Amino acid sequence: MPVRVYIPTPFRRFTANREYVSVEGETVRAVLDALDDAYPGFDHLVYDREGRVPAHINIYVNNRAIDELAGVETELSDGDQMAVIPALAGGAR
Partner 1 sequence: MGDAEGRAPGAPQGSAFTPEEVMRYSRHMIMGPVGPVGQRKLRNASVLVVGAGGLGSPVALYLALAGVGRIGLVDFDVVDLSNLQRQILHQTADVGRPKILSAQESLLAYNPHVTVNTHGLPLTSDNALEIIPEYDIVVNGADNFATRYLANDAAYLSGKTLVDGSILLFDGQATVYRPGEGCYRCLYPAPPPPGLVPSCAEAGVLGAITGVVGSIQATEVFKQILGIGEPLVGRLLLIDALTMEFRMMRVRRDPACPLCGDAPSIHELIDYDQFCGTPPLAVAEGAAVAAGAHA
- Which residues make up the interface to partner 1 (CB under 8 A)? 6, 8-10, 19, 54-56, 58, 60, 63-65, 67-68, 83, 85-93
Rounded to the nearest whole angstrom, what is the least distance from the CB of residue 92 to partner 1 in the complex?
3
CB 25 within 8 A of CB 76: yes
Distance of alpha carbon 54 from alpha carbon 40, whole angstroms: 18
Rounded to the nearest whole angstrom, what is the least distance from the CB of residue 57 to partner 1 in the complex?
8
Rounded to the nearest whole angstrom, what is the least distance from the CB of residue 13 to partner 1 in the complex?
9
CB 6 within 8 A of CB 20: yes
